[in-house]
Structure 1
């Protein structure tokens, strides 16, 4: 049975489900799903028996915000949805704990572009950690736009999770990320494997 979110955010061209660790939104982790993955499927993957990412985040006091993107969306349009989610989270957050923002597949690319564009526009995204799991490589028509904004956000700590054989458009230079982990594809159906999830949580702000 799919868990019921504490709140539903209807955003321009996207919808987000908010799962609180406590009474209020205090330590937001925004995770953007791959293109065309609906929120119910994202939630079930975050609660998977193989690795329950949502429970692990909640145990450390982190709230989870899942953002679903429509099939076939553009990098720029989906990046805008990420920006709207970030702004909503900072507006509704209690306290001043920094955000954690990332995604998987096309969602990772959208998060990368969304945060980079906010920095380019000098908008404070209040994000301390940016993570990418098997990020989609930008299409040829998107590369120039991404380069124009700096290629990726520069302010947050950048954590990169890449399965063997996946091209995330960032090349093979480990120095591109502040920390990187590589592994084999996980076929369990979990949103992140236990290896990746544990590695990520160890690097999030306390």
Structure 2
């Protein structure tokens, strides 16, 4: 029997030196990243204003919906509900619209403009706190579904889904409505690079976020994002602080409870056709990140940090370390797979941290897997034990190996949530 995936942190004192002065610490703190780095900014300020806006009181959370009527309409007739993804703070729905409607090919309209031209009304679901519990934001999604049914002219069934965490929020919402005996009138569910079996942020980068927060407190901080309920529920491997030693696979009780709740609800909604797309390749070809090798070194006046790409399993494998003053910490993992380089939707986590620190890093090493393709495709495996080869070629797998009824993969491992012609054309074809 293999050991449970875990992390261990050893602490020692440096052989020479002195405790840093407050002035020295202040100089180091001024160089540290304080932004929220481990997310994809889905759009910037501004964006196309909606034709209507709904307030969604939810219950334990609140949100809004931005409604865009199909060309020539002034009412809802063929609703496509699409929920925002994971980040810190409130959704910006006009910017989200622009992100998914940005041209991905010369001479062709954007994804959302194509839907509108085909008579599909778009209802974007946003959340006041994207980082709160998924179950709470699912109540907001249920409000949006009920409102769409109430305002729709005719009886055209709904399409409901979301990007990233939004796909998990709506998956839970639809399953709960079925469990509660509420008719969601949804014919199709669509997830866009959603981490059905969990997402991945390198453990050493999670530790560094806590380490930097201690040296330079900020709000919101990267550490606050990792501590958030949504992050704990989405991340397959998670650590609560920079000094934590122990098991990492589904280490948070919030994730254990969420996975159990989903199972109790049937795991997925049973009535709709289940569609999903992955920003990762399906042929088992990942990113060229050398497992166990150094990604970057950072040296400051009285502090330093080293980050390595996640080694592939093994016992007491080094993933990096950090020091401030006299204290030196080194981190190792046991039986954790080398998820940085597996096929999947990518996030430039190593690059963002290294660039913020002004540490040298190779351009090809900036990005690693954030949502492994086996997770976005909802391949059937244990979401806690992860008893799966994440480098598995799944292009030719029988559909009964997936929870979804149909799945599409990108032609390369593109950034998480990226809009590509391959995925848009597949979605348009299935929704038509």
Asked if Structure 1 and Structure 2 have the same fold, meaning a TM-score greater than 0.5 normalized by the shorter chain, the answer is: yes
Whether the aligned pair in 2 keeps the contact of 1:35 and 1:68 (CA below 8 Å) is no
**Structure 2 CA distance for partners of 1:195 and 1:169, relative to 1, 3 Å:** closer
2:378 to 157, 167, 170: 170
Distance 2:194 2:415 in 1: 17
Deviation, 1:117, is 0.4
**Structure 2 CA distance for partners of 1:83 and 1:189, relative to 1, 3 Å:** closer
Matched, 1:34 2:34: no
**Structure 2 CA distance for partners of 1:90 and 1:163, relative to 1, 3 Å:** same
Structure 1 residue runs of 4+, over 6 Å off? Answer: none
Q: Give 1:8-87 correspondences, 5 Å limit.
A: 8-12=53-57, 13-21=62-70, 22-36=73-87, 37-50=91-104, 52-69=110-127, 70-87=129-146
Deviation, 1:133, is 1.2
User: Where does residue 3 of structure 1 map in the other structure?
Assistant: 48
1:146 to 254, 259, 262: 262
Distance 1:187 1:57 in 2: 23
CA displacement, residues 85-121 of structure 1 (integer Å, 9 cap, x when unaligned)? 0000000000000000001111000010000000111
Distance 1:147 1:201 in 2: 30
Stretches of structure 1 that go unaligned for 5 or more consecutive residues are none
Deviation, 1:169, is 8.2
Q: How many residues align?
A: 204
Tell me whether 138-147 or 21-30 shows the greater mean CA deviation. 138-147
Stretches of structure 2 that go unaligned for 5 or more consecutive residues are 1-45, 199-233, 235-254, 281-343, 345-371, 381-396
Deviation, 1:185, is 4.0
User: Where does residue 151 of structure 2 map in the other structure?
Assistant: 92
Deviation, 1:15, is 0.8
Q: Give 1:85-164 correspondences, 5 Å limit.
A: 85-136=144-195, 137=198, 138=234, 139-164=255-280
Deviation, 1:188, is 10
Whether the aligned pair in 2 keeps the contact of 1:11 and 1:85 (CA below 8 Å) is yes
CA RMSD between the two structures: 2.0
SS in 1 for 2:430: coil
Distance 1:169 1:77 in 2: 24
Deviation, 1:193, is 2.0
Deviation, 1:122, is 1.2
Deviation, 1:189, is 7.7
**Structure with the greater alpha carbon radius of gyration:** 2
TM-score w.r.t. the length of structure 1 is 0.91
